[in-house]
Chains A and B, each alone.
Chain A
Amino acid sequence: MFDKEQLKSIKAKKEEWDCGPVEKVCAKFPERRSVFTTISGEEVDRLYTPADVADLDYENKLGFPGEYPFTRGVQPTMYRGRLWTMRQYAGFGTARETNARYRYLLKQGQTGLSVAFDLPTQSGYDSDHPLSMGEVGKVGVAIDSIDDMRVLFDQIPLDKVTTSMTINAPATVLLAMYLALAEAQDVPYDKVGGTVQNDILKEIICRGQYIYPPLPSMRLTVDLIKYCYEYVPRWNTISISGYHIREAGSTAAQEMAFTIANGISYVQACMDAGMEIDSFGPRLSFFYNAFTNVLEEVAKFRAGRRYWAKIMKERFGAKNPRSMMMRYHVQTGGVTLTAQQPLNNVVRVALQTLATAYGGAQSLHTNSFDEALCLPTEEAVTVALRTQQIVAEESGAADSIDPLAGSYYVEAMTDRIEEEIDEYIKKIDAMGGTLKAIEEGYIQREIQDSAYRFQKEIEANERIYVGINKYTMEEPPLKNLLKVDPKQQEIETEKLKKFRAARDQEVWKSALDRLDEVSRTDENVMPAVIEAVKAKATVGEVCDVWRNIWGEYRPKEFV
């Protein structure tokens, strides 16, 4: 970008400046710290100059929005055309209550729905299962059957909204219910749009909502991808998630690296199942975290986009540019929120939203300020949504594409994170792939070590967290927290009992038998799952069919 003579002169002058004025000032007034680092522990220099981006080849490394390698964004006009989708993850209690929250959010201008399921649903247990005790309707909505699904989307036309479902191990089952519901609403499959998370590897690495061993789990993942490619073309079949990896304590670069490593595994699995890279490549999507260090986050997103494009093109031979695009959803960092002085979280979320906008995300969920304390109240959810709207409409961040490109700092950081990603991918390849690296506990340990380092930094006051280790104060506890009715489980259990008694037992039984049969072959399970849920099989019953065949996964824990 700069000619050699110019660079030489800049380098020389930088050295003069370092040894001259800087040294003089530092001698009198030492800098606040001897080393400055980002929240991920990346060292940050005092000043960045063109010398730090000397080999920045604009056309190859940055290019133009909507063009390979997509560093500057995946669409030609980005937010000048359409703002990112504001999608608030919500769900609690019964399907009825959640439906009311959805309709409220749609009325407030939200453009897509996002379903949070309770933990029993996520781990494939019905509400009346012993392990569901205490969990029903707690962190999301309890869905046991097609009837619950119908209530959840009551008066919401499935061809008018897109729905993102945070569901992994039983993703096939919940998608089947959604499709069955669309059918009942007379909406053809090709008009149905949305996303299932369907990312089992990160469940095994750090989120814990797994059911089956990795191999059969991957088979379900691939079956869903394959089925949607053929019949539900607008569905995003997987949301490869770094969000939880970051929440578990990873650095920004690790978040991107391990997510891409998982992505590589899924692509490989689909190709091994005989799919063409460009058939499913365009439907892969990603899900990331955004922390408060704006510039590091922006660099992370840019580096990830560039690296993924390269992987898809060079490693997997994708031809369709859409296969090379890393499209992603972002959620602001849950672990960055403090229970102390919770209103400060509004500011954190605003900065994270800014980072997301500068980074070029396709959709965003902003956390509510009270989430370190409880499930978000309606007031807090509204502020969170308004935060996005302010950044989108008032800040100007959405008006020019990738506006931080060319910043010496951001470009240098982008390169550095990309290098780190590359090192991890090479290491994982050498170990024999992600599954092996997970089995050996390598990825888990890397994340835990980062979490540990961070905690030690906070406790040693080497890193400042407002309200935690500096600017603390006594404060009265927050009032009016959202509570879920503890009677929930009884209500759901009662409902389930009636539901089971009322269904046609023969149809139900034969649908489950058919599923069992198909699951033991190489045939795609999706059609049989759709038939089973239509025959009123519950989430737990479908999952039990597979538990019987494949057993349950017990991971090795690495502390």
Chain B
Amino acid sequence: MTSLPKPLPAPDPATSEYWEGAKQGELRLPKCRDCGKFHFYPRTLCPHCGSVNLEWKNCSGRGVVYSYTVVHRAPSPAFEADVPYVVAVIALEEGPHLMSSIINVPADRVRVGENVRVTFRSAGSGDEMLPMFELG
């Protein structure tokens, strides 16, 4: 049985570097050259100071679980084979929070505050990759 298509990220000029990094196994975040802060999600200006003087940096890919939920009821048929699965907010070492999944662990093992590291999983067809996280 072929799997149903999941909603895929549609990169735009402000975000394509992020998704290109994911294809290469790198978590890249925008950093402001003026105030020195990272931000997420990627956009055309720094939400901390308004500067458009941004650069992309590879991150450590390490962080902690800020919060999580175990999804038992899939939002669409494409996710039905995955339940129960973990949707989490990760607090990255560099500061920003981002939403992701925690994989390669039973869903009931995940706790707030646990250390996680990034890994990449195919987003479906093609070579698109989604950043996800594992405990450890």
* A and B are partners in one complex rather than unrelated chains: no
